[in-house]
Chain A
Amino acid sequence: MKSLLLFAVAVFIISGTSMAQKYYTKNGKINFDATAPTSPEKIEGVNRTATCVIDSKSGNMQFAVLMKGFEFERALMEEHFNENYIESHKYPKAEFKGEIKQNDAVNYSKDGTYPVKIKGKLTLHGESKDIETEAKIIIQNGKISAMAEFSVKLDDFKVSIPGIVADKVSKVAKISVSCSLEPFKS
């Protein structure tokens, strides 16, 4: 009887830990690359302070990033990004809310690399647009890494690129996301 009870408790604890449903990070990395093919230099910024939450049970995910936190190598480029293109004083935050398709295929308690599709809404520069992309979820020792790469048409978000820099700044920006998430303990 006693051992049965112990077994029940053990099962409860084990299932409890593997049921850590939410995973999060506040140091997510987002790379923004709008280098035109003809550009002699890279138009590229990186943000290392993105917040990301993934609910392993429902497959829901959320990102939030402050635009002013994108760092460019050249000061002038960063100022233009903030003041002229993204207008980060008016639209300080970008958000993505979506879900992992085939979330059932991801076994969050088993190490492995799981290719998935992500679908959701990206809000940037005050405009919202549906986005669909391929992504990778990597499980290793209870930690999750999430990686994705997709392109956004700047026009879709009403970010206009003046003709004078059209040979340098691409109309399509490549966004790469890379996050290491930890289980959320409430």
Chain B
Amino acid sequence: MKRKKIIKYVLLSLLVVIAAAAAYIYKEYNRTHRDTAKLKADYNLPAATLIREFETDQQSANKKYWDKVINVQGQVKEFARDEKGFISLALGDTSSMSSVRCSIDSLHTKEAGSIKKGDQLAVKGICSGFNADELLGSDVILVRAVVNKKNK
């Protein structure tokens, strides 16, 4: 009699574990990206400073900023919208060839729609690295970027 009870409990707890694992896998599998607008910035700095850091020492800057949430402030040098409505911006000094290039998250194109060249603003995004180019100017690239009115 006692043994039957033990087996019952073992089976029951096993079932609970399996159900929990299944729920976890399901949730993990369907996990969506976290909204950049809701992420806290790991770093907060002007575009020119970020560019300078990459230009002086690409390796250590990459180590520091790669895959991190960065909030940068700067002047809009370029604003482009493609045929599907995706927006990309370049921030930085107009006197320099280099910029911070931000590809705006498709969830947040609306807020970025009214931006004009010359605007001063803050953009928060995830750093995907540095593209050094002597001819065209080097770029620090931010993806899933959002215009950050709070500048935090």
Interface residues, chain A, CB within 8 Å of chain B?
22, 24, 26-27, 29, 48-49, 51, 53, 64, 66-69, 71, 73-76, 78, 89, 92-93, 180, 184, 186
Contact = CB atoms under 8 A, between A and B. Distances in A.
A78 B128 contact: no
Given A51-B136, A76-B28, A92-B66, A66 B103 contact: no
A69 B131 CA distance: 12
Nearest to B81: A27
A27 B141 contact: no
A68 B136 contact: no
B30 A74 contact: yes
B88 A49 contact: yes
Contacts of A24: 136
Interface of B: 28-34, 62, 66-67, 80, 82, 86, 88, 90, 101, 103, 126, 128-129, 131, 133, 135-136, 139, 141, 143-144
A70 to B, nearest CB: 9
A49 B141 contact: yes
A184 B134 CA distance: 13
A81 to B, nearest CB: 13
A41 to B, nearest CB: 10
B66 A89 contact: yes
A30 B123 CA distance: 23
Contacts of B86: 48
Given A53-B135, A69-B141, A89-B66, A74 B101 contact: no
30 contacts: A24-B136, A26-B131, A26-B136, A26-B139, A27-B82, A27-B88, A48-B82, A48-B88, A48-B103, A49-B88, A49-B141, A49-B143, A51-B131, A66-B128, A67-B128, A68-B126, A71-B143, A71-B144, A74-B30, A74-B31, A75-B34, A76-B31, A78-B33, A89-B67, A92-B128, A92-B129, A93-B131, A180-B82, A184-B135, A186-B135
A66 B144 contact: no
Contacts of A69: 103, 128-129, 141, 143
B141 A66 contact: yes
A53 B88 CA distance: 18
A184 B97 CA distance: 12
Given A49-B141, A76-B29, A180-B82, 9 more contacts: A26-B101, A26-B139, A27-B82, A49-B103, A64-B131, A66-B131, A68-B143, A74-B32, A89-B66
B66 A68 contact: yes
